[in-house]
Structure 1
Amino acid sequence: MKNPRTATLYRMVMPDHLCPSGLKAKWLLEKHGYTIEDHHLTTREETDAFKQKHDVATTPQAWINGERIGGYTDLRAHFGNPVRDKSKTTYTPVLVLFAMMALMALAAAFVTTGQPITILAAEWFVSFSMCALAYLKLRDVESFSTMFLNYDLLARRWVPYGYIYPFAEGLAGVLMTAHILDFISIPVALFIGTIGAASVFKAVYLDKRELKCACVGGDSNVPLGFVSLTENLFMIGMALWMLAKPALI
């Protein structure tokens, strides 16, 4: 008797290309207990003929008990797994970044001080975050500056500021991490943080515009809003703390 949980999978397995989505589709079917009839498409010609025969645009393609489900994303949806809509905005990238920077700051400060929770950890969380965000912008400064021009008040008046901003953020972050040259890092962080906060507040809360934030680079789907405002407020707060710190300690 044939196994009622049977799936048929067609995927590209070539000497110069092993389809990642095909591997994921095979793993997902196995995870759900299906016995798989795994058919390899070993040439481009064979793949093109398969797509033409079944009137599909992509591979892999999966059938479950004779019914075509589709590719890997279709299988995820079929099994009730979340499917990401790449066109929708999400806070996930920046939240993951902040979480990782917080853990790194706690770990680095613990090695330095031997204490689990310290002021140094809080300082490094902000400076590490500034460096990481600057890196994401610097991967493609052109794309970042284009998206930045949608809302930044200074960049819209002076376009080169969109190119300067990620370098300034990275410089301030590195100097604040090292606790050196405060006379450079403090005014830089205050300047870009204040302009950034004012720009986000105006665009989102006064003009009610729905925009994507350039904070994690020019290919971001992060919505401009509270998280973007928080990034700038962190920079302002860090600069003010460093100004006040000598008198408090």
Structure 2
Amino acid sequence: MTHTYQITGMTCGSCEAKVKSSLLKVNNVSAVEVSKDNNSATITMDKHIGLSDFQKVLDKKYQISAIYHYEAIEKSKAWFSTYKPVLLIFLYIFSVTALVEITAENIDLSRWMRHFMAGFFLTFSFFKMLNLKGFKHSYLMYDIIARKFPFWGYIYAFTELILGIAFLVNFNPIITNSVTFLVMSVSIIGVLQTVLNKKTIKCACLGDVFNLPMSTVTIIEDGLMIIMSLGMLAMALS
């Protein structure tokens, strides 16, 4: 994509060259054209980049602003484009499991959550299995157990697969939900540390297939699994 921005503070050809070289240093920027006469910079990028990222690399005397497009809209488009795979997966799983309940004789919340968890773990483990080595490498970048025991990455992928099957066949709800709660609670610790420390790390939730950044989306994803497993555990014990 290509956007044109307003740049203030340029007074000579040297300023043009300095602004251009600075903007080219930003990740995912492929081309930059700067005009002192028009006080503008036309930037071609692989994906949308926020104004703050551009401003960081510029000298304080130069100010960049978006006047030819709406930054909020572009940010929304970029967000949906980045997380499209995860959103589609959740939509598909939710829709299929909801359809099962709608067509059943009665709607059972516990059964819906069990089917949803089965779909979640089976789907996410599938993407991890496509490149187990790549997943392990990405996972040890933030998981507290995988950092100390890299082989845990392999075990975690198969644990998700086994949990998916367990939910699907309704194997001992107390054991299945207890293990899920424990595994996901430990997993979310590394995610929280990464997001809160504002580290830019690839999320391994879909293995090494998609380049998804670690963010609050990952926290919500893991948190949902924790809440649902806790809820089903409470139902099983009642």
Tell me which interval the TM-score lies in, with the shorter structure as reference length. 0.5 to 0.7
Tell whether 2:105 aligns with 1:113. Answer: yes
| Aligned counterparts of 1:188 and 1:122: Cα–Cα separation in 2 | 16
1:190 corresponds to which letter in structure 2? F
Partner of 1:144: 135
Which of the numbers 186, 189, 196 marks the counterpart of 2:187? 196
Which of the numbers 206, 215, 223 marks the counterpart of 1:216? 206
Alignment of structure 1 residues 28-107 onto 2, 5 Å: 90-107=82-99
1:161 corresponds to which letter in structure 2? W
Partner of 1:153: 144
| Aligned counterparts of 1:113 and 1:193: Cα–Cα separation in 2 | 32
Root-mean-square deviation (Å): 2.5
Q: Structure 2 stretches of 5 or more lacking a match? A: 1-73, 75-80
Percent identity among equivalent residues?
26
Post-superposition Cα deviations, 1:157-214, rounded to whole Å, max 9, x if no partner, equal 1111111111111211221232212354223212220111111000111x21011111
Partner of 2:168: 177
Contact 2:110 2:232 in 1 (8 A): no
Partner of 1:246: 236
Q: Which moved more, 1:230-239 or 1:195-204?
A: 230-239
1:102 corresponds to which letter in structure 2? F
Which of the numbers 227, 230, 234 marks the counterpart of 1:237? 227
Partner of 1:43: none
| Aligned counterparts of 1:112 and 1:170: Cα–Cα separation in 2 | 26
Alignment of structure 1 residues 4-15 onto 2, 5 Å: none
TM superposition score normalised by structure 1? 0.58
Alignment of structure 1 residues 128-139 onto 2, 5 Å: 128-139=119-130
| Aligned counterparts of 2:112 and 2:178: Cα–Cα separation in 1 | 22
1:99 corresponds to which letter in structure 2? L
Q: Structure 1 stretches of 5 or more lacking a match? A: 1-81, 83-88
| Aligned counterparts of 2:235 and 2:175: Cα–Cα separation in 1 | 16
| Aligned counterparts of 2:228 and 2:109: Cα–Cα separation in 1 | 15
Size of the alignment, in residue pairs? Answer: 161
TM superposition score normalised by structure 2? 0.61
Query: Which structure's CA Rg is the greater one?
Result: 1
Change beyond 3 A, Cα 1:120–1:184: closer
Contact 1:126 1:234 in 2 (8 A): no
| Aligned counterparts of 1:142 and 1:246: Cα–Cα separation in 2 | 36
Contact 1:152 1:200 in 2 (8 A): yes
| Paired residue secondary structure (2:213) | coil
| Paired residue secondary structure (1:113) | coil
| Aligned counterparts of 2:175 and 2:142: Cα–Cα separation in 1 | 26
Shift of residue 127 of structure 1? 2.6
Partner of 1:124: 115
Post-superposition Cα deviations, 1:31-80, rounded to whole Å, max 9, x if no partner, equal xxxxxxxxxxxxxxxxxxxxxxxxxxxxxxxxxxxxxxxxxxxxxxxxxx
1:240 corresponds to which letter in structure 2? L
Tell whether 2:155 aligns with 1:164. Answer: yes
